[in-house]
Amino acid sequence: MAYYYSMRGLRVAALSLASALVAVSASAQSPDLVAFDKYVAHAARDWRVPGLAIAIVKDDSLVFAKGYGVLELGKPAPATEHTRFAIGSTTKAMTVASLAMLVDEGKLKWDDRVIDYFPSFQLYDPYATRELTVRDLLTHRTGLPGTDLLWAFPENQYSTPEMMRRLRYVKPISSFRSQWEYQNVMYDIAGALVAQLSGMPWETFVRTRIFAPLGMSESIPLVSGIAGKPNVAKPYGEVRDTVRLIPLRTTDAIAPAGSVWSSVSDMSKWMRFMLDSGRIGNRRLIQPATFREIVAPQMRASMAQYPALALAPPHFFSYALGWFVQDFHGETVWMHTGSIDGMSAIIGLLPERRVGVYVLANLDHAELRHALMYEVFDMYRSAPKASNRDWNKDVKALFDSLQAAAHVAAPAADSERSRDGATQPSLPLERYAGSYVDSTYGSIQVTLLNGALRARFVNFDIGELKHTSYDTFRSVKDDELEGISELTFIPDGAGHASAVQAFGVTFSRSNGARQLRPIEH
């Protein structure tokens, strides 16, 4: 029988504590959960996290679950193990589990071609169009760069069919299946496949086929569903070294890639489900062979994805189906992070020990998540912790050094801009005005009003532009959600601008004959 051990307030009897420690005594030495509670509280303060929650499971038991801090700064409501946070991209594993159930039902094979289900689907590369499989959708190996501009701006979010249509214009940055490149929109297509084969929307499938049987009553599949719900964390980010409340970004446009909100209490049930290879008690939701395919390494991933890997370099770092697979001191790890504006998540599983840890926080990219995951792994390893390593201290030092290096680079760039700012733009301002178009993402409209340039990206108002250097301009808006938008114009050598670069994309000047399709909601 599963034993639930709540650490809230440490108001537990000594007998209960002893029972909990017995429940996790499979390791060589029983973890000191009281000390760990203090460790987490200290780490949360070190990283200035407004609110955090963590859960640990061992075998079929939830052995630790507690919240720290508050839902919202300046208000007393505490974060608890039942507080809802955005779980971000750890949602992807649920989309994979949904497809796995359809595989077991004979409705799908991992290596089925996408065009057999969506005949009009097309990529820039005809070979990739013809050969793209469901497995390719899930392993970030399409050769395409990230295409988050299709959904990341709330004002410019496209429907799934429209995103699929626009992918045909995206030029690959590597040959098909040769390079790992994170791709959220492909997971949205995977969710559309769940809907087509099951006859129900992705969010309904997840709610009825995963949340309900696992008893995940605190989990919500869409961001729109959290409105009016109790015990919901507010998103925070570090803005000019100050932790500030930031706008909530919806990810519902690509829900299968990262829209679920949940609590560590609920996610502990998901961890136990995964550690038991897709079973709930004696009931199997995913068949053994199908489950093995989910966690089998498929594609070598870039270790640059996670700087914390430098502190415990794995022998291999791969992507499976919705999971990173690596080793930690020779033991297999299944893990994934989730990051969306103001929210951070991590899940880490040691399947051979049947140990899992899940961390949720309401601070943008709160990298103490890696420290806490490794700390839990060390607590349950049979070998003594090497040199009593303090993971929080080491991970904090690593990211502090990275931040310091960025701060050193920033003044140098600002100084160069200041020098360049003394120069004038190479063209009269009116020559920059016009419509600049990209087939995938739409248009940037640049206008001249009262002696100043203004820009608009489809429906998103970039705002007034201030000249910084040469042909580069920067938005004067102070927007915590989008940051500062920078536009660099490319002169054509004939007294006009032929293109503008923004958001990592080059938008070409329109000749006026091209008509843009309206956004489809």
Q: Is residue 327 part of a domain?
A: yes
Q: Tens of pLDDT along 77-131?
A: 999 999 999 999 999 999 999 999 999 999 999 999 999 999 999 999 999 999 9
Domain count, the chain: 2
Q: ∠ at Cα 189 (95, 164), nearest 5°?
A: 165
Residue that has been written with the tokens 């420290």 in this structure: 371
Same domain, 108 and 144: yes
Please state, in angstroms and rounded to a whole number, the distance separating the CA atoms of residues 57 and 269.
9
Q: Which helix or strand (DSSP H or E) is residue 69 part of?
A: strand 61-69
Cβ atoms of 79 and 69 within 8 Å: the answer is: yes
| Domain closes at, from 352, 384, 402 | 402
Q: Quick one: 375 and 454 in the same domain? A: no
Same domain (yes/no): 446, 388: no
Q: Are residues 360 and 484 in the same domain?
A: no
Q: What is the pLDDT of residue 203?
A: 98
In a domain, 3, yes or no: no
Domain assignment present for 374: yes
Sign of torsion over alpha carbons 362, 366, 368, 374 = positive
Do residue 391 and residue 442 come from a single domain?
Answer: no
Cβ 327 vs Cβ 314: under 8 Å:
yes
Do 379 and 449 share a domain, yes or no? no
Residue 63 lies in a domain: yes
Three-state secondary structure call for residue 336: strand
Q: Cα(453)–Cα(436) distance, rounded to whole angstroms?
A: 14
The SS3 of residue 356 is strand
Helix (H/G/I), strand (E/B), else coil: 306:
coil
295 and 389, same structural domain?
A: yes
| Residues 390 and 434 occupy one common structural domain | no
CATH number at residue 468: 2.40.128.600
Distance CA 5, CA 62 (A): 7
End residue of a domain, out of 365, 383, 402: 402
Residue-level pLDDT at 324 = 98
Residues 345 and 251 in one domain: yes
| Parallel/antiparallel/unpaired status of strands 343-350 and 355-361 | antiparallel
- CATH number of the domain residue 318 falls in: 3.40.710.10
The verdict on 331 and 467 lying in the same domain is no
Domain check: are 91 and 240 in the same one?
yes
Inside any domain, residue 423: no
Domain-embedded: residue 281: yes
Q: What is the pLDDT of residue 484?
A: 63
Q: Does 412 reside within a domain?
A: no
Residues 383 and 448 in one domain: no
pLDDT (tens digit, 0 to 9) for every residue of the chain, 521 residues total?
333 334 333 333 333 333 333 333 334 468 999 999 999 999 999 999 999 999 999 999 999 999 999 999 999 999 999 999 999 999 999 999 999 999 999 999 999 999 999 999 999 999 999 999 999 999 999 999 999 999 999 899 999 999 999 999 999 999 999 999 999 999 999 999 999 999 999 999 999 999 999 999 999 999 999 999 999 999 999 887 899 999 998 999 999 999 999 999 999 999 999 999 999 999 999 999 999 999 999 999 999 999 999 999 999 999 999 999 999 999 999 999 999 999 999 999 999 999 999 999 999 999 999 999 999 999 998 655 545 789 999 999 999 999 888 777 655 555 555 554 457 899 999 999 999 999 999 999 999 999 999 999 999 999 999 999 999 999 988 665 445 689 999 999 999 999 999 999 999 999 753 334 434 43
Please report whether residue 175 resides in a domain: yes
List the alpha helices (DSSP H) in 242-390: 255-258, 264-275, 288-294, 368-380
- Name the residue range of residue 295's domain: 8-402
Q: Residues of 116-136 as b/e, b for ≥16 C-beta within 10 angstroms?
A: eebeebbbebeebbeebbbbb
Q: What is the pLDDT of residue 424?
A: 87
